[in-house]
Structure 1
Amino acid sequence: MPPDEPLDALLARTFRLLRHTWAQHGADLGLAPHQGRALRIIGSDGPMRLSALAERLHVVPRSATEVADALQERGLVDRSPDPDDRRATLVSITASGIEVAEQVAAARRAQAEVFFGRLSDADRAALHRILSTLGEPGH
């Protein structure tokens, strides 16, 4: 890596490496990247409409439907009518979906430990501080 590599390019390259590893862990569990993300989102936010899932995944609604279809076929999510609007459908995570989401999360944490384990404790603390500052809204 060139010493004068722009920070944005360096950050993007580093994140791609980490994201690729995370995607591989999902693939090991039979999940496409959007499916793993959908499980995490639904698992943390609770039942949601397909339109909200599409928005969170940054995909068109039809793609969110395909993701939900694949997850439902595996028994990882359920669909039910939205009690506030019978025309809408809610997607919720199942017990099996929670188990798979926990496996994905554990694999991600383990990989993050390996990935960031190359840094000293002081460098990890500095990186955490820097990324926290950069990740604050409004900056």
Structure 2
Amino acid sequence: MQNKIIRFMLNLDNRSHIGNKELAKTGFLKVPGRVKQLKLGHVIKIKNNTSPYYLSANFQNLNESKDRIVTRSKVSNFYKPRVCTNTFVYSAINDWNNLSSKIKEIKNENTFKDKLRKYLFSEAEKDYSNPFIYY
């Protein structure tokens, strides 16, 4: 569906290839990138304590535990549960912990979302330029 919309917006033939160049022209991310963007948008709200309690109940900062020694690079990370489940909590914490610290240190939600979008576009460009990754 996304490819059809992009073809319509760019006035392309119905069999034209949609790559990162076309996605960048329209400002769209691929679906997995968009899902990650929405998840991390919720995580920044959890980090800033502007989300409902039921969302933030399972998120614990690494520096909140007195039993762990935390380095400065990991201060803004969350504790990842040992059980790998396919839940929002696990995948959101995993995505957050894998972000660069420059992005995680941003407090303003709008600035965070802008920087995150640019980061996700750059990551998608790296993946697309690697000839050994097939879809």
Larger helix percent:
1
TM normalised by structure 1 equals 0.28
